[in-house]
């Protein structure tokens, strides 16, 4: 809707996109740890998770409400 | 107000115009003026010509009687249309059908006492149905402000409960060795999010992704492995040969009672492993004990007081005179505690410790024992 | 101040007018729709941890261009981002900062738990309290009716009760609790909570905490006093203005009414008053003729006007200090104007002075009869001496442009 100020203009929903990327990254990190390729210690994992959640919140907050809903 | 088959709602038919002699059939509608949450009580009161307050009280009482009141209320919320002329007519879309279906299953589960999946599943179903309904109520702009506020709070609580359930499930799944699968699901959620971004957004996938990723992360950080025995075990080896292999458990509480042990001179290693829980090692008074403990999240106390935290790696070095019988405890705990000492608080269980004592551990004898001067 | 509804997201700029240092946080806050305070807190903490905050701030300062319209304040803007979304952005940022802190901790770039965590808590609590203490002045104006019913309609109803920007006891309490928590954590991590340790550390920490908590109100009090003084000064000035108007303008008007039969005198009175009022308004206070070039020009022109009753228009652009050369310029201008008065009394005489840096140019024009430069009557020889000669003697130059029937223009350049 024009006049929103931060309407997602492009043809995709930025919040979903960025959140998806962040989730994929996090999931891969965890997968590698579970498969014993990497070894994640708690002191690296906590910042990773916090950053992921923070990034998702940021992306959703910046993108505004989803398009097409009233 | 029982489980009568739901009346088929006629979505877009107002009261039909009939000849003047017959009264148009009065339909039950939810009131949009007199509504606390969804206008159910107001509508029923208006239909039956009863004070809505009485209806509300009835609902509340019935809720305490096995949840029937809540169930009835939810049924009305789904199936009774609102009288607000500006609201969209009752449509039987996928969401509504799903909600009704969930509710039906939940009702069955509550009313049938020994549902074989245990009490959690129907509870979660009810929770799901409640969430759905509350979301619908909140979305419609009818209802009072307080009602919407209450609905939001309720949604929040229910979501938290659901998430907690999901967390536990994911943690258990991960710790049981299904970590790779859980991680796979998380990645799948991410892919779904990315794909859904181009089709109008699929933000709801964020919730399951996070709900699964968090416990997985916790499990990964603590290297939690609860495969193995679950429960409380007490091990009382009588000879060094018995404890040579060490003891391993999945989850629970492990007690190693070494009071009957005669240690040979030199170092004897004792390996103890538990995924989640507590390891307590009771040693005889005048035995030299050194400890190596690794704890993902928890507490270690080898006689010098509690050391708690995350990613603990405690090595209790003591000067050991040569030739002294030394017990070297090597403990690995994912989430929990490692306690080594010669006294513990009494534990009121059959076969458990009967030492009345302090929680604090006596270290004097043990160090002296190590120095060989006990 | 903002009346145009945004149709585009605000560009990422520094907001120099709303910012504390370089406007980095203010500008970022405008773009993201969060309170720049949160960003400031983040930068401060990051700076304390490993200096990364200072570096990051410097990078942002260098990379972000300054905002072109520096009219709006960098406070919480609810018009580009809805209230709920700005909450999400704020918490997202906080989490990211926390994650960065923990990462630094894992990497070893860490001053120490005992320092950083209390600092984080104290900064957070202090920021909350500071925000709350700024009071209703910080509450955003309701978003302009830009056709978005979501904001204008529903937002006007009770939803607004939960706005963060309003001073609320709950948030103040939270801020105070954070600071107290910071103090406790500091003491605990430094082992000072054990009873047999030194008590002075605890007392010091408590005093610091109380200072942090109470500081904003103290500053507000001080600021209030300053504002009070400013208000007093304003009232004083207003009284002065009234007095001046009363003394000068009203008197002149009364005089003009008395001399209504003599149009020339009335015109002269009006002219004089106009000149005086104009200079008073421009200067803000009475300027002494000796202070600057423009003032000296004004005084000279006024003197001539008064002496000969002829209107002379003066426009002065720019100004410079009155030194010897400028005085010479003024004197030359005076002569030129006098000349114009003498030989073109019925015409409009205008003086245009332009000062740019050290270079001063004065143009004296009149639409009089003009004269033939070649055939200079003996009177005008004086003009040449008094004007041209004087200018040349002081390092400037002058030119006379004139033709019969086309008026005269004397151009004086100094500097």
pLDDT of chain C along its 415 residues, tens only?
444 444 445 566 676 666 666 677 777 777 666 667 767 777 776 666 656 666 667 666 666 666 554 434 433 333 444 555 667 777 888 888 888 888 888 887 777 777 788 888 888 887 777 766 665 443 444 444 443 434 333 333 333 323 344 456 667 777 788 888 888 777 777 766 665 556 666 777 777 777 777 777 777 777 788 888 888 889 988 888 888 887 788 888 888 888 888 888 888 888 888 888 887 777 654 445 557 888 888 888 888 888 887 888 888 888 888 888 888 888 888 888 888 888 777 778 889 988 887 888 999 988 888 777 666 665 556 666 778 888 888 888 888 888 888 888 889 998 7
Q: Ranked by mean pLDDT, which of A22-36, B13-27, C18-32 comes out on top? A: A22-36
Collect all residues of chain C within an 8 Å Cβ-Cβ radius of residue A48: 99
- Residue A68 placed within a domain: no
Top-tier CATH class for C288-414: alpha beta
Residue A63: closest C-alpha in chain C: C85
Collect all residues of chain B within an 8 Å Cβ-Cβ radius of residue A34: 174, 179-180, 182-183, 216, 220
Cα-Cα-Cα-Cα torsion B51, B52, B55, B61, nearest 10 degrees, comes to -110
Is beta strand B325-341 parallel, antiparallel or unpaired with respect to B288-301?
parallel
The span from the CA of C160 to the CA of C140, in Å, is 11
Collect all residues of chain A within an 8 Å Cβ-Cβ radius of residue C103: 44, 47, 51
Residues B245-258 as b or e (16 or more Cβ within 10 Å = b): ebbbbbbbbbbbbb
B184 has a pLDDT exceeding 70: yes
Contact A20 B174 (CB under 8 A): no
The alpha carbon of residue B300 is apart from the nearest alpha carbon of chain A, in Å, by 17
The span from the CA of C347 to the CA of B155, in Å, is 86
B208 touches chain A (CB under 8 A): no
Collect all residues of chain C within an 8 Å Cβ-Cβ radius of residue A1: 148
Collect all residues of chain C within an 8 Å Cβ-Cβ radius of residue A51: 95-96, 99-100, 103
Confidence label for A26 from pLDDT (cuts 50, 70 and 90): very high
Q: Where are the domains of chain C?
A: 24-143+162-230, 288-414
A2 touches chain C (CB under 8 A): yes
- Residue A7 placed within a domain: no
Helices B206-222, B179-197: axis angle to 10 degrees equals 150
**Chain A contacts in chain C segment 98-137 (CB below 8 A):** 98-103, 105-106
Residue C10: closest C-alpha in chain A: A5
Confidence label for B22 from pLDDT (cuts 50, 70 and 90): very low
Mean pLDDT value across residues A42-55: 87
Contact B210 A68 (CB under 8 A): no
Mutate to test the interface with A, among B138, B171, B181, B190 (most CBs of A within 10 A): B190
Which of B186, B191, B203 lies at the smallest CB-CB distance from A15? B203
Mutate to test the interface with A, among B196, B221, B295 (most CBs of A within 10 A): B221
- Residue A70 placed within a domain: no
Q: Are C412 and C398 in contact (CB under 8 A)?
A: yes
Tell me the pLDDT tens digit for each residue of B294-312. Answer: 888 888 887 777 788 878 8
B55 has a pLDDT exceeding 50: yes
Contact A54 C147 (CB under 8 A): no
Collect all residues of chain C within an 8 Å Cβ-Cβ radius of residue A49: 99
Contact B311 A30 (CB under 8 A): no
A14 touches chain C (CB under 8 A): no
Collect all residues of chain C within an 8 Å Cβ-Cβ radius of residue A44: 103, 106
Q: What tokens were used for C370?
A: 């003009």
Neighbours of chain C (3+ CB pairs under 8 A): A
Q: For chain B, how far is it from start to end, CA to CA, in angstroms? A: 78
A61 touches chain C (CB under 8 A): yes
- Residue A9 placed within a domain: no
Collect all residues of chain A within an 8 Å Cβ-Cβ radius of residue C81: 5-6, 61-62, 64
Residue B190: closest C-alpha in chain A: A20
CA atoms within a 13 Å half-sphere pointing along the CA-CB vector of B69: 12
Collect all residues of chain A within an 8 Å Cβ-Cβ radius of residue B186: 23, 26-27, 30-31
B360 has a pLDDT exceeding 50: no
**Count of other CB atoms within 10 angstroms of residue C282:** 11
The alpha carbon of residue C236 is apart from the nearest alpha carbon of chain A, in Å, by 45
Collect all residues of chain B within an 8 Å Cβ-Cβ radius of residue A17: 193-194, 197-198
- Residue A5 placed within a domain: no
The alpha carbon of residue C178 is apart from the nearest alpha carbon of chain A, in Å, by 20
* Helix, strand and coil percent figures for chain C, each rounded to 5: 60, 10, 30
Which of B179, B203, B221 lies at the smallest CB-CB distance from A45? B221
Contact C94 A47 (CB under 8 A): no
The span from the CA of C315 to the CA of C301, in Å, is 11
B333 touches chain A (CB under 8 A): no
Tell me the pLDDT tens digit for each residue of B117-161. Answer: 455 555 666 666 666 666 666 665 445 566 666 666 666 766 676
> What average pLDDT does the structure give for chain B?
71
C89 touches chain A (CB under 8 A): yes
Contact A61 C92 (CB under 8 A): yes
Contact B221 A14 (CB under 8 A): no
Phi, psi of B202 (to 5 degrees): -135, 55
Phi, psi of C34 (to 5 degrees): -115, 170
Q: Are C89 and C81 in contact (CB under 8 A)?
A: yes
Contact B186 A60 (CB under 8 A): no
Q: Ranked by mean pLDDT, which of B54-63, B242-251, C179-188 comes out on top? A: B242-251
The span from the CA of C315 to the CA of C321, in Å, is 17
A66 touches chain C (CB under 8 A): no
Tell me the pLDDT tens digit for each residue of B277-288. Answer: 888 888 877 778
A69 has a pLDDT exceeding 50: no
B345 touches chain A (CB under 8 A): no
The alpha carbon of residue C272 is apart from the nearest alpha carbon of chain A, in Å, by 55
The span from the CA of C190 to the CA of C15, in Å, is 40
Residue B177: closest C-alpha in chain A: A34
Q: Ranked by mean pLDDT, which of B58-62, B72-76, B190-194, C9-13 comes out on top? A: B190-194
Does the pTM exceed 0.90? Answer: no
* Helix, strand and coil percent figures for chain A, each rounded to 5: 60, 0, 40
Which ipTM score applies to this complex? 0.81
Domain that holds residue A54: 14-63
Q: Are A56 and A23 in contact (CB under 8 A)?
A: yes
Question: Is B94 or B59 the better-scoring residue by pLDDT?
Answer: B59
Collect all residues of chain A within an 8 Å Cβ-Cβ radius of residue B294: none
The span from the CA of C35 to the CA of C16, in Å, is 15
> What average pLDDT does the structure give for chain A?
77
Contact A66 B213 (CB under 8 A): no
CA distances from B98 to B8, B84, B125 (A): 16, 24, 11
pLDDT of residue B106: 61
- Residue A55 placed within a domain: yes
The span from the CA of B111 to the CA of B346, in Å, is 44
Mutate to test the interface with A, among B182, B189, B194 (most CBs of A within 10 A): B194
**Count of other CB atoms within 10 angstroms of residue C203:** 10
Collect all residues of chain A within an 8 Å Cβ-Cβ radius of residue B196: 13, 16, 20
Collect all residues of chain C within an 8 Å Cβ-Cβ radius of residue A4: 148
């Amino acid at each position: 809707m024009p006049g929103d100020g931060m309407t997602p203009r492009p043809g995709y929903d930025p919040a979903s996109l960025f959140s998806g990327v962040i989730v994929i990254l996090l999931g891969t990190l965890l997968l590698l740890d579970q498969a014993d390729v990497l070894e994640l210690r708690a002191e690296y994992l906590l910042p990773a998770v916090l950053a992921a959640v923070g990034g998702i919140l940021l992306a959703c907050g910046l993108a505004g409400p989803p398009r097409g809903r009233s | 107000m029982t489980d009568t088959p739901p009346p088929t709602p006629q979505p877009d038919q107002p009261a039909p115009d009939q000849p003047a002699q017959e009264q148009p059939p009065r339909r039950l509608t939810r009131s949009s003026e007199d509504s606390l949450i969804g206008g159910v009580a107001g509508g029923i009161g208006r239909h039956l010509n009863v004070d809505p307050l009485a209806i509300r009280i009835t609902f509340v009482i019935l809720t305490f009687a096995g949840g029937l009141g809540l169930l009835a209320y939810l049924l009305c919320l789904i199936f009774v249309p609102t009288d607000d002329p500006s609201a969209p007519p009752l449509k039987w879309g996928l969401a509504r059908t799903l909600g009704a279906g969930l509710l039906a299953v939940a009702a069955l589960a509550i009313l049938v006492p020994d549902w074989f999946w245990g009490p959690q599943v129907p509870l979660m179903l009810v929770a799901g149905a409640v969430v759905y309904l509350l979301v619908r109520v909140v979305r419609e702009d009818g209802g009072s402000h307080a009602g919407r506020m209450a609905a939001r709070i309720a949604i929040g609580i229910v979501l938290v409960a659901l998430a907690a359930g999901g967390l536990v499930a994911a943690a258990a799944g991960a710790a049981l060795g299904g970590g790779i699968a859980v991680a796979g699901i998380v990645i799948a959620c991410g892919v779904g999010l990315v794909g859904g971004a181009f089709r109008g957004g699929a933000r709801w996938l964020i919730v399951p992704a996070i709900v699964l990723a968090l416990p997985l992360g916790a499990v990964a950080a603590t290297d939690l492995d609860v495969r193995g025995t679950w429960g409380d075990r007490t091990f009382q080896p009588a000879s060094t040969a018995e404890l040579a292999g060490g003891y391993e458990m999945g989850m629970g509480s492990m007690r190693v009672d070494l009071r009957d042990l005669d240690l040979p001179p030199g170092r004897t290693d004792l390996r103890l492993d538990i995924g989640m829980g507590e390891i307590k090692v009771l040693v005889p008074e005048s035995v030299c004990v050194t400890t190596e403990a690794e704890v993902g999240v928890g507490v270690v106390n080898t006689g010098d007081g509690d050391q708690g935290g995350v990613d603990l790696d405690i090595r209790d070095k003591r000067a050991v005179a040569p030739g002294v019988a030394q017990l070297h405890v090597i403990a690995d705990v994912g989430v929990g505690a490692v306690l080594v000492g010669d006294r513990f608080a009494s534990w009121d269980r059959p076969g458990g410790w009967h030492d009345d004592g302090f929680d604090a551990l006596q270290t004097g004898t043990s160090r002296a024992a190590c120095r060989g001067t006990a | 101040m903002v009346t145009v509804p945004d149709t585009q997201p605000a560009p990422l700029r520094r907001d120099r007018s709303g910012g504390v240092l370089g406007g980095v946080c203010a500008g970022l806050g405008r773009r993201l729709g969060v309170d720049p305070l949160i960003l400031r807190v983040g930068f401060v903490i990051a700076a304390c941890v490993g200096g990364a905050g200072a570096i990051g701030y410097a990078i942002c300062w260098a990379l972000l261009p300054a905002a072109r319209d520096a009219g709006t304040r960098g406070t919480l803007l609810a018009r580009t981002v809805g209230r709920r979304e700005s909450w999400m952005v704020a918490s997202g940022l906080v989490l990211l900062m926390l994650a960065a802190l923990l990462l630094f901790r894992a990497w070893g770039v860490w001053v120490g738990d005992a320092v950083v965590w209390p600092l984080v808590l104290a900064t957070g609590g202090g920021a909350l309290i500071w925000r709350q203490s700024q009071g209703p002045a910080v509450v955003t104006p309701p978003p302009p009716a830009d056709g978005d019913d979501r904001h204008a309609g529903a937002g006007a109803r009770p939803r607004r009760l939960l706005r963060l920007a309003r001073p609320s006891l709950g948030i103040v309490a939270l801020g105070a609790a954070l600071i107290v928590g910071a103090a406790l954590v500091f003491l605990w991590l430094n082992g000072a909570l054990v009873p047999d340790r030194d008590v002075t550390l605890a007392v010091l920490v408590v005093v610091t905490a109380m200072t942090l908590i109470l500081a904003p109100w103290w500053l507000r009090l001080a600021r209030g006093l300053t504002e009070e003084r400013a208000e007093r000064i304003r009232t004083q000035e207003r009284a002065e203005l009234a007095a001046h108007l009363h003394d000068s303008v009203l008197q002149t008007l009364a005089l003009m009414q008395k001399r209504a039969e003599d149009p020339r005198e009335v015109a002269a009175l009006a002219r004089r008053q106009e000149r005086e009022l104009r200079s008073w308004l421009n200067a803000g206070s009475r300027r002494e003729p000796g202070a600057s070039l423009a003032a000296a020009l004004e005084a000279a022109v006024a003197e001539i006007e008064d002496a000969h009753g002829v209107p002379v228009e003066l426009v002065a652009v720019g100004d410079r200090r009155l030194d010897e050369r400028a005085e010479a310029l003024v004197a030359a201008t005076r002569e030129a104007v006098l000349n114009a008065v003498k030989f073109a009394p019925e015409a409009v005489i205008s003086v245009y002075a332009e000062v740019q840096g050290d270079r001063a140019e004065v143009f004296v024009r009149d639409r009089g009869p003009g004269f033939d430069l070649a055939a200079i009557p003996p009177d005008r020889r004086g003009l040449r001496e008094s004007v041209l000669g004087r200018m040349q003697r002081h390092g400037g130059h002058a030119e006379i442009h004139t033709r019969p029937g086309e008026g005269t223009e004397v151009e004086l350049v100094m500097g």
